[in-house]
């Protein structure tokens, strides 16, 4: 059963990667293009000329995160911000606005019941969920046959889900986890709950599952031996289709509720020191989003010197005024503020 095989392989890969890479870094850029009418046209005009890029680094062992965000509007620098997180305290810095890191202190919580997680705990959780899902998907839910796809013979496995078996599957998964003491212990550490509290949460989930009504779902996986070819998920008029190609993947998402269709591609470029993902999405209203994400394979995240930081609440009124004045004198900020004001749109419309 290739659906089960692909699912198990995915969970196994997650489990194998735990503890291997304590740090990761990369760069991300986002561009939006689109044209339509009325209010949306004004929003797209702003988004079309707004550039966003980000460099990020995360070290789970040292518990530090570093994010540099750059924005431009019509080619002029808007605001560049560095966000640095260490021991759950957040430090914000923008050399354009203020000379020090601004510290947002993490309020200490009562974690007396919360035990520290280990890599083995994460592996137990992943392995337990993988086993519970696999054991709950009975063979009677699947159909298997050979079909022609783009002129080639491929293996097709279908998983047919309906209101009745979705409830049975979900209940079996939850009961499997509830009866797994290792999972209960590790998951309890993760969420800071005692054994009985975890079991009560799972019982609550079962009641919720049984009180809901579910639409029919058909999952179709096409493979050539063990190679992924196509995945199709349909439910009513909604549909998700993912196809493999030489450069990566193409996809289509049909959203009947929004009366919209999204088509896109994911191109993957593997180098010796990094992997780059180029994602391009276009909907039926001519909105196009381009995302470029490069992930470095070897990286070291440097700690920042935040000894000279100042608490947010300790910034003086005069310093606040200086920051506001610097923002007000920013050419790109004034331009985007003017365009938003003239368009009679709210910031929430852009978000």
Low-confidence ranges of the chain (pLDDT < 50): 351
SS3 assignment, position 122 = helix
pLDDT at 61: 81
SS3 assignment, position 151 = coil
pLDDT at 228: 94
Tokens of 70: 């750059």
Distance CA 42, CA 36 (A): 9
Distance CA 11, CA 171 (A): 20
pLDDT at 170: 95
Q: Is 177 left (phi over 0), alpha (psi -120 to 50) or beta?
A: alpha
- In sequence order, the β-bridge partners of residue 56 are 26, 67
End-to-end CA distance of the chain: 42
Over residues 133-160, the pLDDT tens digits come to 999 999 999 999 999 998 899 999 999 9
pLDDT at 35: 63
Tokens of 153: 């013979």
Tokens of 250: 């193409």
Contacts of 320 (CB under 8 A, 6+ apart): none
- Whole-number CA gyration radius for the chain: 25
pLDDT at 344: 66
pLDDT at 37: 52
Distance CA 226, CA 213 (A): 35
pLDDT at 39: 53
Q: What phi and psi, each to the nearest 5 degrees, are found at residue 200?
A: -65, -40
SS3 assignment, position 341 = helix
**E-assigned strand segments in the chain:** 23-34, 50-59, 64-73, 76-77, 81-86, 89-93, 102-104, 142-149, 152-161, 217-224, 227-235, 238-245, 248-255, 260-270, 274-283, 287-296, 310-311
């Amino acid at each position: 059963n290739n659906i089960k095989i692909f699912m198990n392989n995915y969970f196994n890969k997650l489990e194998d990667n735990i503890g291997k890479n304590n740090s990761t870094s990369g760069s991300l850029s986002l561009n939006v293009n689109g044209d339509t009418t009325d209010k949306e046209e004004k929003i797209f005009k702003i988004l079309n000329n707004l550039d966003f890029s980000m460099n990020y680094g995360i070290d789970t062992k040292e518990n530090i995160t570093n994010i540099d965000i750059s924005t431009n509007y019509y080619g002029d620098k808007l605001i560049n911000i560095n966000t640095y997180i260490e021991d759950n305290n957040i430090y914000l810095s923008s050399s354009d606005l203020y000379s020090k890191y601004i510290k947002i202190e993490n309020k200490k919580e009562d974690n007396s019941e919360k035990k520290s997680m280990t890599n083995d705990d994460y592996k137990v959780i992943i392995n337990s969920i993988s086993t519970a899902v696999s054991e709950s998907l009975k063979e009677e839910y699947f159909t298997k046959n050979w079909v022609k796809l783009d002129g080639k013979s491929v293996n097709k496995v279908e998983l047919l889900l309906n209101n009745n078996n979705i409830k049975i599957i979900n209940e079996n998964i939850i009961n499997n986890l509830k009866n797994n003491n290792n999972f209960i212990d590790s998951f309890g550490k993760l969420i800071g709950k005692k054994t009985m509290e975890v079991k009560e949460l799972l019982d609550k989930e079962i009641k919720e599952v049984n009180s809901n009504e579910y639409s029919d779902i058909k999952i179709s996986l096409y493979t050539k031996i063990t190679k992924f070819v196509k995945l199709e998920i349909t439910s009513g008029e909604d549909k998700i289709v993912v196809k493999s190609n030489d450069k990566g993947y193409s996809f289509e998402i049909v959203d009947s509720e929004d009366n919209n269709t999204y088509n896109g591609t994911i191109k993957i470029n593997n180098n010796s020191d990094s992997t780059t993902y180029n994602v391009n999405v276009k909907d039926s209203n001519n909105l196009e989003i381009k995302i470029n994400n490069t992930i470095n394979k070897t990286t070291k995240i440097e700690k920042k010197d935040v000894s000279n930081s100042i608490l947010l609440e300790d910034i003086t009124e005069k310093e606040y005024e200086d920051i506001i004045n610097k923002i007000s004198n920013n050419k790109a900020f004034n331009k985007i503020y003017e365009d938003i004001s003239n368009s009679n749109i709210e910031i929430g419309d852009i978000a």
